[in-house]
Chains A and B, each alone.
Chain A
């Protein structure tokens, strides 16, 4: 049975990746399973300088999901290269460094400095950050800005550049096209969904920043729809599908919708070895269904005529 898949120029041992911000810097999960079984690890989002993150409470659970407002806390590019990358480099899987900036120039500077590090397989650009110059609107929601930002980062790295799309938009396909026009080699679909939770008795928001990002099985149907729309519009562009994946069958659904790989996010909090269990379930599904190559599933959704 073949589980190996290519993604842009990456060779992935399996279609299972772990999602940025939900897998620490990899080392936190090494006690629970062999990280080399993963197709890739997407690191915590890295910015040029270390960031302390948001006040607490930062997380709360909601129906089949959670809302977070961690505030993109991270160790910064320099410490990442020095203290975190050496472990990841020998983990036996592709290291995809998720990155962001507070300004346009910071994004580009961050991409350039990460490109210089040995052992980085690809970069994943997180565009779900407020753009202070544009009144705090996320960088990733205005197609023209997204194209320009992607192009600028593309020009400073030789590695594959993935753009991680935000679902907080009316037109995901327009954003996908904008990123590809800027030179994106692949798309990660989706980031968290803007949301809030309220404590009725205390009459207060449940997290300190009022709004946060919803993740977990609650968002899976939204993510599937967006992966399918993007794949239908841009069938040649590799997609890494993300959103609430909790089982091998969930993975199959994302592949059918058009994803080449998937990323396990919040489930790694419920169960540190979730990604390994999900990979086992994917193999079992393929065996039962007599599928010898996982690549057969990619985009193989059957939409009956008239739908």
Chain B
């Protein structure tokens, strides 16, 4: 059941220009939530920005949680300046998670940018559960490939890519994925820019692989009330739209058409 609660900033770690991790305490209501679920976050901002911002959980354990955030607009830039000890208002856990890792299933995780957050957590849980996962993580340049030590620490096979070739395999993350798929027949879980996820979905379709996407579009309420987070349903579905906050953000790629 989602809960409204106050969380305290334990740490605010800059990883690269405009990329940071917030570690929050007093997050007991998040106990038991799973990778792919998200929270709505608001600071003491008065009436402007008015709406909370949605962030996937990078982890939630023992009454703490972590968020991996890219400073884009006003809300995320205000969060970037959060002082240790400051209070944030959270609502969560929200949404449906990625399929829980299972030893008999092999997952390939394809992350772009801050889409890494739920997939890194999924990788950590998968390793703990004895499931095999591989992570494909792409960015434009080396500086944006964050949390590499933590990724390596999971012990799962990782392929880093950068579009400018400054680190890992040069080019797009989807090209690295294609190359590996000639050998394997996994389930694909992806989170990142829509263009990247569309390419992953195409690959899944062409190779007849199960595929799950996490849709991170605009949201106002996070609880199914505003109907602002509509995602077009796949052709032939019983209804025209699904809602990212309550039906997602994780969808079977066959359910929806990515924007």
Binding site for B on A (CB under 8 A): 21-24, 28-29, 31-32, 52-53, 55-61, 63-66, 68, 70, 73, 216-217, 246, 266, 268-273
Instruction: Give me 23 A-to-B residue pairs in the complex whose CB atoms sit less than 8 angstroms apart, sorted by A's number.
Output: A24-B224, A24-B225, A28-B223, A29-B223, A31-B2, A32-B4, A52-B239, A52-B241, A53-B227, A55-B232, A57-B217, A59-B220, A60-B218, A61-B49, A63-B48, A68-B220, A70-B228, A73-B230, A268-B221, A269-B221, A269-B226, A270-B51, A273-B4
Name B208-259 residues within 8 Å CB distance of A.
217-218, 220-221, 223-228, 230-232, 239-241, 259
When A64-B50, A271-B89, A272-B91 are in contact, do A22 and B218 touch as well, CB less than 8 Å? no
Contact in complex: A53, B91 (CB < 8 Å)? no
Binding site for A on B (CB under 8 A): 1-4, 42, 47-52, 89, 91, 217-218, 220-221, 223-228, 230-232, 239-241, 259
With a CB–CB cut-off of 8 A, which chain A residues contact B217? 56-57
Contact in complex: B50, A53 (CB < 8 Å)? no
Q: How far is the CA of A4 from the CA of B259 in the complex (A)?
A: 47
Q: How far is the CA of A269 from the CA of B91 in the complex (A)?
A: 11
Tell me the nearest residue of chain A to B75, going by C-beta.
Answer: A61
Q: How far is the CA of A231 from the CA of B109 in the complex (A)?
A: 60
Pick the contact of B226: A22, A31, A56, A63 (CB < 8 A).
A22
Q: How far is the CA of A28 from the CA of B243 in the complex (A)?
A: 14
Contact in complex: A66, B225 (CB < 8 Å)? no
Contact in complex: B89, A56 (CB < 8 Å)? no
From residue B245, how far is it (CB to closest CB) to chain A in Å? 10
Tell me the nearest residue of chain A to B73, going by C-beta.
Answer: A61
Contact in complex: A53, B49 (CB < 8 Å)? no
From residue A299, how far is it (CB to closest CB) to chain B in Å? 26
Pick the contact of B225: A55, A56, A268 (CB < 8 A).
A268
Q: What's the dominant secondary structure at chain B's contact region?
A: loop
With a CB–CB cut-off of 8 A, which chain B residues contact A270? 42, 50-52
With a CB–CB cut-off of 8 A, which chain B residues contact A57? 217-218
Q: How far is the CA of A28 from the CA of B221 in the complex (A)?
A: 10
From residue A265, how far is it (CB to closest CB) to chain B in Å? 10
With a CB–CB cut-off of 8 A, which chain B residues contact A29? 223, 225
With a CB–CB cut-off of 8 A, which chain A residues contact B4? 32, 271-273
From residue B246, how far is it (CB to closest CB) to chain A in Å? 9
With a CB–CB cut-off of 8 A, which chain B residues contact A61? 49-51, 220
Pick the contact of A73: B42, B48, B49, B227 (CB < 8 A).
B227
Contact in complex: B227, A58 (CB < 8 Å)? yes
With a CB–CB cut-off of 8 A, which chain A residues contact B232? 55-56
- Residue of A31, A53, A57, A270 with highest tally of chain B CB at under 10 A: A270
Contact in complex: A64, B225 (CB < 8 Å)? no
Contact in complex: A269, B227 (CB < 8 Å)? no
When A268-B221, A271-B4 are in contact, do A58 and B230 touch as well, CB less than 8 Å? yes
Q: How far is the CA of A288 from the CA of B210 in the complex (A)?
A: 61
Contact in complex: B228, A23 (CB < 8 Å)? no
With a CB–CB cut-off of 8 A, which chain B residues contact A63? 48
When A59-B220, A216-B50, A269-B51 are in contact, do A68 and B228 touch as well, CB less than 8 Å? yes
- Residue of B2, B231, B241 with highest tally of chain A CB at under 10 A: B241
From residue A274, how far is it (CB to closest CB) to chain B in Å? 10
Contact in complex: B225, A28 (CB < 8 Å)? yes
Tell me the nearest residue of chain B to A72, going by C-beta.
Answer: B227
